[in-house]
């Protein structure tokens, strides 16, 4: 039973437009959420995170929105650039859990076309 | 990013042979993790460590063992490799809420 789901395996957007990547979770105990970006042949790199006490967190072109009632989070990239083409993973955690473990979604491949 | 290295970066082995992958960190992080990444499955946790000689199982631990004798090193052993263990293996470390990943090891079991 997947507790974190990314229902879109791929997304294609035009350079300069907004990219919206979505993530749903089922475990209401999750209270910390992260997005990672992964290029081919590299490890995932941390992008942005949000605590459940917030509904929005912004870092430059990247904004994460959290809707706790819907158990849904999204990552907005504005404006999208060709260098943003990568696989994006969302992850969820219960702060203070033994091991600081994360549960990952299956990933969404973003392609930004010039 | 945390200084995390993995070795080897690529390995081809035969079914039934033991394989050990190494993760080394320079950040003195308490927590270390081993994941595997397979198409359609994202990242799945194999084992993790919360201190020297303190380890526990993750979601997909069958056929794998780990050891952590020093803070900086976390070893993953495939006791008898099978073709289903062909995958990309990532090590991660954490000193707080965020995990930082190594570059990965691509393992092919023939």
Q: Tell me the pLDDT tens digit for each residue of A48-63.
A: 999 999 999 999 999 9
pLDDT in tens, B67-105: 999 999 999 999 999 999 999 999 999 988 889 999 999
B5 shares contact with chain A (CB less than 8 Å): no
Q: Which among B31, B98, B104 is the nearest to A46, CB-wise?
A: B98
pLDDT in tens, A3-58: 999 999 999 999 999 999 999 999 999 999 999 999 999 999 999 999 999 999 99
A99 shares contact with chain B (CB less than 8 Å): yes
A 27-86 residues with CB < 8 A to B: 32, 34, 36, 41-46, 49
DSSP H/E element including B101: strand B99-101
Q: Which among A41, A42, A102 is the nearest to B99, CB-wise?
A: A102
DSSP codes joined into one string, A9-72? SEEEEETTS-EEEEEEE--TT--EEEEEEE-TTS--EEEEEEETT-SEEEETTEEEEEETTTTE
Give the phi and the psi of residue B83 in degrees, each rounded to 5. -65, -25
What is the number of other CB atoms lying within 10 angstroms of the CB of residue A19?
A: 24
């Amino acid at each position: 039973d997947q507790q974190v789901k990314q229902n879109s395996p791929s997304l294609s957007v035009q350079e300069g437009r907004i990219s919206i990547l979505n993530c749903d979770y089922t475990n209401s105990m999750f209270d910390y959420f992260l997005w990672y970006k992964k290029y081919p042949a590299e490890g995932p790199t941390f992008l942005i995170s949000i605590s459940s006490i917030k509904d929005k967190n912004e870092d430059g072109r990247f904004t994460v929105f959290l809707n706790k009632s819907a158990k849904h989070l999204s990552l907005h990239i504005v404006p999208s650039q060709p260098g943003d083409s990568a696989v994006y993973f969302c992850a969820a955690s219960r702060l203070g859990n033994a091991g600081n473990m994360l549960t990952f979604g299956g990933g969404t491949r973003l392609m930004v076309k010039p | 990013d945390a200084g995390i290295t993995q070795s080897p970066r690529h390995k081809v082995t035969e079914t039934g042979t033991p394989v050990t992958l190494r993760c080394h960190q320079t950040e003195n992080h308490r927590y270390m993790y081993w994941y595997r990444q397979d198409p359609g499955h994202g990242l799945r946790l194999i084992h993790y460590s919360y201190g020297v000689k303190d380890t526990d199982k993750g979601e997909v631990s069958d056929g794998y063992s780990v050891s952590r004798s020093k803070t900086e090193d976390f070893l993953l052993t495939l006791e008898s490799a099978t073709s289903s263990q062909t995958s990309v293996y990532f090590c991660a470390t954490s000193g707080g809420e965020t995990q930082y990943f190594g570059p990965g090891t691509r393992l092919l079991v023939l």
